[in-house]
């Protein structure tokens, strides 16, 4: 929360003896401090928690949902948020070839709750799939299907348009299993050609352009906290 390191990195800093609490080196990983009254230094520099920051990014395709340098010359979303001074982290991920809304924040408690399946936060996608999806088949999709890691039933599914070549559907899941939407449509023999996440809970991509970000509004933050049981 102070923008110094990850939690694991913080453990290493403490073990290395470069963390000082009220004038004394601290090597005990289990120690607790009062951030309002204790003076914490790392390598001699006083640190303080950053203000919480909440933003959404419209991730383009062909970007990795990661911070830092990419692998095999692939770009990461770090390149899209270089002007943000706080160390915000993506909450969840989108595949390299998937675009759409990603929440980034330095509020660890909120992030953990957004990711926790018990709060059933709904994610809505636009999917362009191969082949003609009939109304009858979309109704069968609404009943769900058994995947290798359990049954998958969408919260909602709507057939938007279809032709002989492809079909466009809106689909929502509150689960966060890996590649769930792609595997779901593949099971019906309609592999995904394009996939875009339009919303995460009350956070909607709206008119946000690809590759751009914005701070979420006070109303959006209030609704998100309410959705994950963090109402004041």
Could you give the residue numbers annotated as active site? Answer: 95
Taking the C-alpha atoms of residue 18 and residue 26, their distance in angstroms, rounded to an integer, is: 8
Q: What is the largest CA-CA distance in the chain?
A: 72
Taking the C-alpha atoms of residue 129 and residue 196, their distance in angstroms, rounded to an integer, is: 12
Strands 19-21 and 24-25: antiparallel
Taking the C-alpha atoms of residue 104 and residue 119, their distance in angstroms, rounded to an integer, is: 18
- CA-closest candidate to residue 161, choices 127, 184, 190, 194: 127
In the block, residue with structure tokens 């005990």: 28
203 DSSP β-pair partners: 200
Contacts of 17 (CB under 8 A, 6+ apart): 25, 27
Residue 40 structure tokens: 């914490």
Residue ranges of alpha helices (H) inside the chain are 7-15, 108-115, 135-142, 180-187, 218-227
Residue 31 structure tokens: 């120690």
Distances (CA, A) of 29 to 5, 7, 8, 26, 108: 15, 11, 11, 8, 19
């Amino acid at each position: 929360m102070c923008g110094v390191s990850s939690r694991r990195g913080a453990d290493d800093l403490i073990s290395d003896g470069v963390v000082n609490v009220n004038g004394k080196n601290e090597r005990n990983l289990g120690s607790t401090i009062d951030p309002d009254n204790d003076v914490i230094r790392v390598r001699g520099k006083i640190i303080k928690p950053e203000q919480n920051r909440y933003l959404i990014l419209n991730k383009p395709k062909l970007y990795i949902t990661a911070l830092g340098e990419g692998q095999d010359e692939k770009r990461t979303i770090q390149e899209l948020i270089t002007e943000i001074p706080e160390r915000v982290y993506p909450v969840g991920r989108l595949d390299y070839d998937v675009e759409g809304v990603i929440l980034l924040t330095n509020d660890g408690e909120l992030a953990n709750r957004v990711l926790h399946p018990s709060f059933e936060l709904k994610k809505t996608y636009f999917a362009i799939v191969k082949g003609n999806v009939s109304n009858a088949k979309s109704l069968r999709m609404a009943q769900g299907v058994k995947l290798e890691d359990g049954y998958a039933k969408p919260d909602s599914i709507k057939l938007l348009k279809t032709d002989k070549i492809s079909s466009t559907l809106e689909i929502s899941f509150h689960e966060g299993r890996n590649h769930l939407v792609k595997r779901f449509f593949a099971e019906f023999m309609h592999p995904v050609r394009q996939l875009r996440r339009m919303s995460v809970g009350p956070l909607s991509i709206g008119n946000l352009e690809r590759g751009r970000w914005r701070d979420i509004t006070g109303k959006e933050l209030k609704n998100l906290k309410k959705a994950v049981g963090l109402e004041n």
